[in-house]
Amino acid sequence: MSCPCPGAMAEHFSLSDCDVIGFDLDHTLCRYNVSDTFALIYDSFAQFLVEQRGYDRELMTLTPDCWDFCFKGLLLDLEDGNLLKLGEDGTVLRASHGTRLLTGEEILETYGKKRKWKHFKTINGTFARSGKYHFYDNYFDLPGALLCARVVDILDQNRTVKKYEFWKDVIASIEYNYKASAFKEDSGIYFPSVKKDPGKYLLRCSESVKDWLRKLKNAGKVLLLITSSHSDYCRLLCEHILGEDFEEIFDIIITNALKPGFFTQMPQQRPFRTLVNDEEREPLPSLEQPGWYSQGNWSHLNDLLKKITGKSDPKVVYFGDSMRSDIFPAHSYNNCETVLVLEELEVEASQQVTTDRKDSEPLEKKGKYESKRQKMWPVVSEQWGSYFVDGVTGLEGEGETQVHTWCTSNINTYSTIAIPSLQAIADAARPAEIFQHFLFWDLMRKDWTGQDCI
């Protein structure tokens, strides 16, 4: 596969040139039924806040229309209860207070004539965490944006002091539902539900994806699986989506990696640990051979990769869905090639094709793309618009200007390429479908030509 690359990366990128191919698990190798998973995650957080922190029970009640609020790439400003969609230079393109979208006039009143968010310089180029804001960039996190917005709504109804202190309770709900022992203990809502009915939430990898992984292995590539999920949950996912022989596919499996720290911390801060019956054991001074490990760091992993490949500087590509946890740190700290798995690419490409063919295609062909939009709900949002571009008005008296979002800027800067799914690569025998995805990305970037990726 050869594809044009964004930003300052090489003009072309080929997997055949890579010695090591690594994968994130959740929402990368393992795709989820987004609708059911969103509802499960939201319920797991909301129930904790209501039953253990005393929040209004109204938080538990949702209508189908509520899900349109969910949108990847939002920033929650914890100081004022606003959620923001930013342009590439920190301009506030759209905003809401709680779930209520702000008008253009309200945005100007809140953020000034230039509409700049005050914390943009802190997070841009660092993705630094803060007690003043939170960045929603993956599907596990995304229902929390809706939850926090509704918490703001409820708090506003019941008080007059504009100081929001709910974030500590949200963090507590996350820690309760996703702590390392939760899977084994059947605590919380999330893990017991997935264990009971994995087919409701998990989408099995197609035979073409599994064949593609095996072809990579047979071609002599070193295959990695690096996930922040604990080993027991990883095993459940992989057995369901790949089969009970999944361990034969990967040379090295690393669980509880706690990314992005895996890519950024020193060996003494995060040593690898062995696993016995999914329990972590003694720390390792170095990584000596392939296998299944927990925690760890990139430095020791890279030493092992040099040993396995026989190269002083093996070329590594890493696939992931999170800009903050996967793409940015792998690229910026370890000089990896990176492939961002971005389902929004598939949806917005389909919508673009639908619009372009609206008056020239028969009804039965239009329906193909309309059904794809329904299948991907709620990946895109009518309220927040395109993930890639948006129009902004009121900039020093100018009319509406079309601008790239901050998310698009990050993709251009830190990812070698972006794909809608691993299936897009596995289906490379059908070049017309792949061409549609990358042609759409060309329309968004306006600076390189979309071309067949085969």
- pLDDT, tens digit, for every residue of 212-225? 999 999 999 999 99
E-assigned strand segments in 170-311: 202-203, 222-226, 252-255, 272-276, 279-283, 291-295
Question: What is d(CA 435, CA 441) in angstroms, rounded to the nearest whole number?
Answer: 10
Q: What does residue 148 show for φ and ψ, rounded to 5 degrees? A: -65, -40
Question: What is d(CA 337, CA 387) in angstroms, rounded to the nearest whole number?
Answer: 23
Cβ burial, residue 79 (10 Å; 0-12/13-18/19+)? middle
Inter-residue contact 55 to 49 (CB < 8 Å): yes
Tell me the mean pLDDT in the region 155-166.
Answer: 81
- The verdict on residue 71 lying in a domain is yes
Q: How many residues comprise the chain?
A: 454
- The verdict on residue 242 lying in a domain is yes
Do 282 and 177 sit in the same domain of this protein? no
- Which one has a higher pLDDT value, 245 or 375? 245
**pLDDT digit string, tens, across residues 308-350:** 999 999 999 999 999 999 999 999 999 999 999 999 988 776 6
Torsion of Cα atoms, 314 then 320 then 323 then 329, to 10°: -30
- The verdict on residue 383 lying in a domain is no
Do 314 and 173 sit in the same domain of this protein? no
pLDDT at 400: 80
**pLDDT digit string, tens, across residues 224-242:** 999 999 999 999 999 999 9
Do 72 and 15 sit in the same domain of this protein? no
Domain count along the chain: 2
Do 14 and 123 sit in the same domain of this protein? no
Do 49 and 23 sit in the same domain of this protein? no
**pLDDT digit string, tens, across residues 287-297:** 999 999 999 99
Do 83 and 181 sit in the same domain of this protein? yes
Structure tokens at 249: 């596919």
Q: Closest by alpha carbon to 337, among 417, 248, 234?
A: 417
Q: Is the pTM of this model over 0.75?
A: yes
Residue 66 DSSP one-character state:
G
- Which one has a higher pLDDT value, 358 or 365? 358
Confidence of residue 70 (pLDDT cuts 50, 70, 90): very high
Average pLDDT, the chain: 86
pLDDT at 436: 43
Active site residue 24: yes
Does the pLDDT value for residue 182 go beyond 70? yes
- Which one has a higher pLDDT value, 165 or 347? 165
**pLDDT digit string, tens, across residues 78-113:** 999 999 999 999 999 999 999 999 999 999 999 999
Q: Taking the alpha carbons of 425, 209, 202, 350 in that order, is the dihedral positive or negative?
A: positive
Longest CA pairwise span in the chain (Å): 65
Residue 25 sits at the vertex; the CA angle it makes with 21 and 28, to the nearest 5 degrees, is 80
pLDDT at 159: 75
Domain boundary among 196, 231, 257: 196
**pLDDT digit string, tens, across residues 248-281:** 999 999 999 999 999 999 999 999 999 999 999 9
**pLDDT digit string, tens, across residues 389-448:** 999 875 555 678 899 999 999 999 999 999 999 998 888 644 444 444 443 444 344 333
pLDDT at 294: 98
* Catalytic one of 17, 19, 26, 153: 26
Q: What does residue 293 show for φ and ψ, rounded to 5 degrees? A: -135, 170
Do 185 and 319 sit in the same domain of this protein? no
- The verdict on residue 415 lying in a domain is no
Inter-residue contact 202 to 32 (CB < 8 Å): yes
Inter-residue contact 358 to 370 (CB < 8 Å): no
* Other beta carbons within 10 Å of 212: 20
Question: What is d(CA 266, CA 336) in angstroms, rounded to the nearest whole number?
Answer: 17
- The verdict on residue 14 lying in a domain is yes
Q: Please state the separation of Cα 372 from the chain's center in Å.
A: 20
Do 16 and 58 sit in the same domain of this protein? no
Domain boundary among 292, 313, 341: 341
Q: How far is CA 269 from CA 82, 99, 283, 453, in A?
A: 35, 40, 11, 40
E strand or H helix that includes residue 445: helix 431-445
Do 64 and 25 sit in the same domain of this protein? no
- The verdict on residue 300 lying in a domain is yes
- Residue-wise burial string across 147-185, b where 16 or more C-beta atoms lie within 10 A, e elsewhere: bbbbbbbbbeeeeeeeebebbebbeebbebbbebebbee
- CATH number of the domain to which 221 belongs: 3.40.50.1000
Do 58 and 169 sit in the same domain of this protein? yes
- The verdict on residue 317 lying in a domain is yes
Cβ burial, residue 29 (10 Å; 0-12/13-18/19+)? buried
Do 38 and 187 sit in the same domain of this protein? yes
Does the pLDDT value for residue 9 go beyond 80? no
Assign 71 to helix, strand or coil: coil
Tell me the mean pLDDT in the region 182-196.
Answer: 95
Does the pLDDT value for residue 372 go beyond 50? no
pLDDT at 158: 80
Domain boundary among 324, 341, 358: 341
- The verdict on residue 46 lying in a domain is yes
Do 190 and 84 sit in the same domain of this protein? yes
Q: What is the extent of the structural domain holding 67?
A: 34-196
Question: What is d(CA 192, CA 277) in angstroms, rounded to the nearest whole number?
Answer: 19
Inter-residue contact 24 to 227 (CB < 8 Å): yes
* Catalytic one of 17, 19, 24, 427: 24
pLDDT at 351: 59
